[in-house]
Amino acid sequence: MAVAPPSDAAARRVVERLRSNGFQALYAGGCVRDHLLGIAPGDYDVATDATPDVVQSLFERTVPVGASFGVVLVVVDGRPVEVAQFRTDAEYLDGRHPVAVRPANPQEDAQRRDFTINGMFIEPDTGEILDYVGGQADLRAGIVRAIGNPAERFAEDHLRMLRAVRFAARLDFVIDPLTMQAIRANAAAVRGVALERVGDEIVRILREGGARRGFELLDESGLLRIVLPEVAAMRGVEQSPDYHPEGDVFEHTLRLLAGVDALAAPRSESLALGALLHDIAKGPCAARDPQSGRITFYGHTELGETMSIEICQRLRRSRDVWERVAYLVRNHLRHVSARDMRRATLRRFLSEDGIDELLELTRLDALASNGDLTSYRFCIEQRDAFGAEPIVPPPLLRGRDLLDLGWQPGPRLGQILNAVQERQLEGDLTNREEAVQWVEREFGKPPG
């Protein structure tokens, strides 16, 4: 079978340079899978019989990301193209790297790859598909299947178990029963994977589409209780049916992740993690009111902030990400009291860094429960009502103004400026003259 070959300019130049020097070059792996599915590949891999040393000699800009395993990154016009030598792998002892590799042909190379849908090649000129592992049939059937013995493939790289979930979720495929059986049997081995690699896979599951499906599969496979035991513990945590007719905290979170799936790509990492973790502390905070019988979760936003930071740091997320996630978790119910806020407080709230993501989280949270968007809409309407003017306008008075009026530097100066801004945000003061007069009435003349 042949198809129209991919037309990526950078990858094509790599292929042409290799072939003009007498080497074989094929498109390989994920770019083939996506091309056959009609999805524009995000990056391109080229498989060749040229050694890493030769590849580096043929191109001006290269990065030996895995030269000892036959992999070199070639940069063409700013675009990276991964070039890997056809190889077979010796024994894996660390759950990630083979102790040695040896040159191979394409058919042998395909056997050491992870899943059948990732084990195909395309001939760049003719579009001929080289499929030695049944990848085309599994693409048509919508199956993620390990190549050969699933337990052996997962022993070679334990992260492949998470990758199986990610591919199935992103593509809306099922996981082959024998492959799933091997994941369940070996799930605990994921504990040996570098936490950054685990974190990257979790975030990709959240952001690439199919987040709900991904976390259902993580749960079904036993991986969830290994990589995110706090999320697994949300299953069975009851909620009051008037606010949460959808069921327990885990089901609520899955519905919220479905809302993240519906967002336009690219989906924010912090919003996706905030959606996953916003109710992470409900289990530890759950109690039942002895009078009303209602289920309560007092303090879950505060404890949730602490837990979300710990989880994000464990998954090696950046400081910017975990700080924003902590903000979202801590404040995800704050909008409910917006109607009772003073005007100045509301303006400050709606001007906070991260408010757009916070309001989006509150919308998804409401839609995943009883659907009440009243408080969310109030916040949106109030923000729109402020018009084009800054939500927090330039101050009417600054420290220099008070110094010119005779006030001395010190804590009193800050108290006066804060009080003036409060009255400004309430709409009681609109210009500098009014502010000066108000300071004189409220604070008197400067001492001395």
Q: What digits encode the pLDDT tens for the residues 376-392?
A: 999 999 988 876 666 67
Statement to judge: residues 218 and 196 lie in one domain: yes
Determine, yes or no, domain membership for 253: no
Statement to judge: residues 9 and 73 lie in one domain: yes
Q: What is the CATH number of the domain that holds 155?
A: 1.10.3090.10
pLDDT, position 215? 98
Residue 237 to residue 283: CA distance in whole angstroms: 6
Statement to judge: residues 167 and 300 lie in one domain: no
> How many structural domains is the chain composed of?
4
Residue 159 to residue 74: CA distance in whole angstroms: 25
Determine, yes or no, domain membership for 246: no
Statement to judge: residues 66 and 191 lie in one domain: no
Statement to judge: residues 24 and 136 lie in one domain: yes
- Which residue, among 131, 198, 132, 134, has the nearest Cα to 160 in the 3D structure? 198
Statement to judge: residues 120 and 150 lie in one domain: no
Residues of the chain whose pLDDT is less than 70?
Answer: 67, 90-100, 387-391, 448
pLDDT, position 91? 64
Among candidate residues 227, 250, 276, the one where a domain is terminated: 227
- How long is the chain? 448
Among candidate residues 339, 355, 385, the one where a domain is terminated: 385
Determine, yes or no, domain membership for 448: no
Statement to judge: residues 429 and 381 lie in one domain: no
**Whole domain around residue 347: which residue ranges?**
262-385
Determine, yes or no, domain membership for 364: yes
Phi, psi of 17 (to 5 degrees): -65, -45
Residue 110 to residue 118: CA distance in whole angstroms: 9
Statement to judge: residues 6 and 108 lie in one domain: yes
Determine, yes or no, domain membership for 251: no
Residues 6+ apart with CB under 8 A from 255: 212, 246, 367, 368, 369
> The whole model's pTM is what?
0.85
Statement to judge: residues 23 and 60 lie in one domain: yes
pLDDT, position 444? 83
Q: What digits encode the pLDDT tens for the residues 176-216?
A: 999 999 999 999 999 999 999 999 999 999 999 999 999 99
Statement to judge: residues 354 and 332 lie in one domain: yes
Among candidate residues 140, 158, 188, the one where a domain is terminated: 140
pLDDT, position 402? 82
